[in-house]
Each structure stands twice: as structure tokens, then as C-alpha cells.
Amino acid sequence: MGLTYENSGVSIDHGNLFVERIKAIIGDSPQPGVVGGIGGFSGLYRLDGKTLLAACCDGVGTKMEIAKACGHLEFLGQDLVAMSVNDLVTCGARPLFFLDYLACGHLDIDAYEPVVRSIHEACRESGCALLGGETAEMPGVYPTDGFDLAGFAVGIVKETDLIDGKDIKPNDLVVGLSSSGLHSNGFSLVRKALLDGNEKDILFTIPAGCEEPLWRLLLTPTKLYVRSAMKATSTGVVKGMAHITGGGLEENITRVLPKGLKLQIDFEAWTPGPVFSLLRDAGVPEEEMRRVFNLGIGYVFIVAPEGLEELVTTLESEGEAPLLIGEIL
């Protein structure tokens, strides 16, 4: 069977079931102004007749445990911002502002200041304001060195510019952008497979075939896709977008497809980075790898064949190296 996310303590199936229950609860009392429902990359709210607000929230997960173990918290702020703003832009929304929530057992100012600095820098790179947040010191709830992070992003999009996947058709193409590594998903499985309680002994070693210590491979911050996505959507050829997080390529891309359409991914079209090879070598089966991790592709566009050249040229102008990785059936 090999190592799985579930036997590491996280069930994707249970998470999906909980989302369905949330949908049922909210569906009983729809609020005026809400556009669509729960389950997309962001929620939509009608501001006026022509404008929609988009909002989402996310966290960093147990990647924080690795950061804490090696004493490098300075990358977590970008992870936090990216997990929300990358979701936000999938509908074509431009990020407006971001709020953060830091909960801890003891407020170590010197330890957490670099986190906030990283949040601010990632917001600036994404073109949004760090509007505020909450710092909660909660001894008894968290251990002295324990903490958690959550973030909330709000953006805006004209309804005429909304990208919701409804125009996706068979024979449309799937174009992927590379990830910077694991990003911020699957770290309970990562810790089980590569560390298994020996973080401090293993994190500072350099794995065979790698040029960096393991901690640096694991803590590489989540890539920010806002500028590339916004530039791509300005072309008018993008039909759908997906941020590849938990659930992998297949589950996340399927979220934006109209009912009845299927996805075909060519997993031989690119070579995942070395961190994914480490996980395979540690005993994580290929099926589980594909369901849990981004496998080197962090963001995806869906485009008609006639729009491919313009999309690729636009993304290359932003310094990206787009890859044709699949098609819609």
C-alpha cells in the first residue's frame, strides 16, 4: 500500500465530505448578493450590478512544524499570502487586500516579526494591501513554541470579466506553470515519509542528488502567480484557471470543468523537481503522489487551441515557461 496521506493523519475524502455538509448548511439559507456556491477557489459576492467581490481564506498547514524545527520562519509569510491570492485570481479577480491571523502560545516578537515582514512583501508583490489582522496569544491552547497562521484575501472583478469555466469545451488545452516545489500542501505526509520524528537530525543533511539541504527544499516558499495570471486573463483567451493545491492536478482542474467533461493529463510532459523524487523513493505510491502534491505544476490555464499561441507568448513575457500538459475531453 505504501505511505498515504490518510495513514499520516489527513483524509482528503473526509475533507471533501465536510465541504459537502457545509454546502448543505449554507444552501438552506442563501444570502442576497452571493453568486454561485461553496466549493470554488473563492467565494463571490455581488457589490453592484456590474462588480463582484471575491474572497477566500487559507493557511500554511503543518509546513510550520518543519519551519519551527529548523528555526526558519521567514518564508511562511509568502506561503500564507500565496495560498489565498493564487486561489483568488483563478476567477479573474484582482487582489485588493489581505488580512492575517497569527495565534500562538507565547508571543515571541523576534521570531514572528520576519513572518509579518514576509506577508507584507508577498502582498506588495501581488499588488494588494496588508490591511490588518489579529495576533492572539493563547497559552494553554498552544504550547509555548506553538503557533498557527491563517490568511484572508479579498479581490474585485467585473462580472463581464469573470472566468468561471462555463465556456470550456472538448479539445480545449491545459497549460501549466511550474511550481517552486511542494508549496504548502501535503506536509503531514512529507513529514511522515522523510522525517518521521527525526526533524532536527535530518533537515540539515543534503539528500543524494540534491544541491541544497533538505530543510531548504521543503521550505521553498509557495510561488506567487498573481501577475502572470492577471496578464494572461487580459488577453481574453483564458477560459478557466486552477491553483494546484491539495487534491493534485486532477481534482483541482476538474473543479472548474462543466459537468460531463473529462480531463486528460500527460504526466510525461514535464519533469518534477527533486523533492518529489525523494518522496517517491521514501515509499509514497504514484497514485498518492498525484492526488496529494502538485508534482511540479502549480497553476493551470485552460484555453482553446486557437488561443494557445497568444497565451504562451504572454506568459513568456512574464518570465514563465508554460507547458502544454493536457486537454479536455
Same domain, 186 and 151: no
Whole-number pLDDT of residue 179: 98
What are 114-158's pLDDT values in tens digits? 999 999 999 999 999 999 999 999 999 999 999 999 999 999 999
Same domain, 12 and 150: yes
Question: Tell me, what CATH number does 65's domain have?
Answer: 3.30.1330.10
**Within-domain flag for 168:** no
Task: Over range 86-102, report the average pLDDT.
Answer: 98
Do residues 264 and 327 make contact, with C-beta atoms less than 8 angstroms apart? yes
**Within-domain flag for 14:** yes
**Within-domain flag for 187:** yes
Same domain, 264 and 286: yes
Whole-number pLDDT of residue 26: 76
Domain residues for 218? 173-328
Of 62-71, 127-136, 200-209, the least confident: 200-209
Sheet containing 323-328: order of strands: 238-243, 297-303, 173-178, 323-328, 263-265
Same domain, 129 and 201: no
**Within-domain flag for 1:** no
Helix (H, G, I), strand (E, B) or coil at 213: coil
What are 216-231's pLDDT values in tens digits? 999 999 999 999 999 9
What are 259-268's pLDDT values in tens digits? 999 999 999 9
Same domain, 184 and 319: yes
Same domain, 206 and 318: yes
Question: Tell me, what CATH number does 312's domain have?
Answer: 3.90.650.10
Same domain, 62 and 92: yes
**Within-domain flag for 167:** no
Same domain, 285 and 240: yes
* pLDDT value at 24 more than 90: no
Mean confidence (pLDDT) of the chain: 93
How many domains does the chain contain in total? 2
Same domain, 123 and 248: no
The 8-class DSSP code of residue 242 comes to: E
**Within-domain flag for 124:** yes
18 confidence band (pLDDT: 50, 70, 90)? confident
Same domain, 156 and 226: no
Whole-number pLDDT of residue 1: 60
Domain final residue pick, 136, 161, 186: 161
Of 38-47, 227-236, 298-307, 312-321, the least confident: 38-47
Task: Over range 308-324, report the average pLDDT.
Answer: 98
Of 10-19, 112-121, 220-229, 233-242, the least confident: 10-19
The 8-class DSSP code of residue 20 comes to: H
Whole-number pLDDT of residue 2: 77
Whole-number pLDDT of residue 59: 96
**Within-domain flag for 107:** yes
* pLDDT value at 308 more than 80: yes
Q: Taking the CB of residue 285, how many other CB atoms lie within 10 A of it?
A: 13
Do residues 54 and 88 make contact, with C-beta atoms less than 8 angstroms apart? yes
30 confidence band (pLDDT: 50, 70, 90)? low
* pLDDT value at 29 more than 70: no
* pLDDT value at 277 more than 90: yes
Same domain, 294 and 260: yes
14 confidence band (pLDDT: 50, 70, 90)? confident
Domain final residue pick, 128, 161, 194: 161
**Within-domain flag for 166:** no
48 confidence band (pLDDT: 50, 70, 90)? confident
Whole-number pLDDT of residue 200: 74
Q: 179: which 3 cell numbers?
A: 511550481
Domain final residue pick, 161, 190, 218: 161
Same domain, 183 and 130: no
- Strands 43-46 and 51-59, by their bridges, are antiparallel
Percentage of the residues of the chain whose pLDDT score is greater than 70: 98
Q: Which residue has the higher pLDDT, 40 or 314?
A: 314
Q: Which residue has the higher pLDDT, 15 or 107?
A: 107
* pLDDT value at 178 more than 90: yes
Helices (DSSP H) in the chain: which residue ranges?
Answer: 12-27, 63-70, 76-88, 109-126, 187-190, 199-202, 214-219, 226-233, 248-254, 274-281, 286-292, 308-317
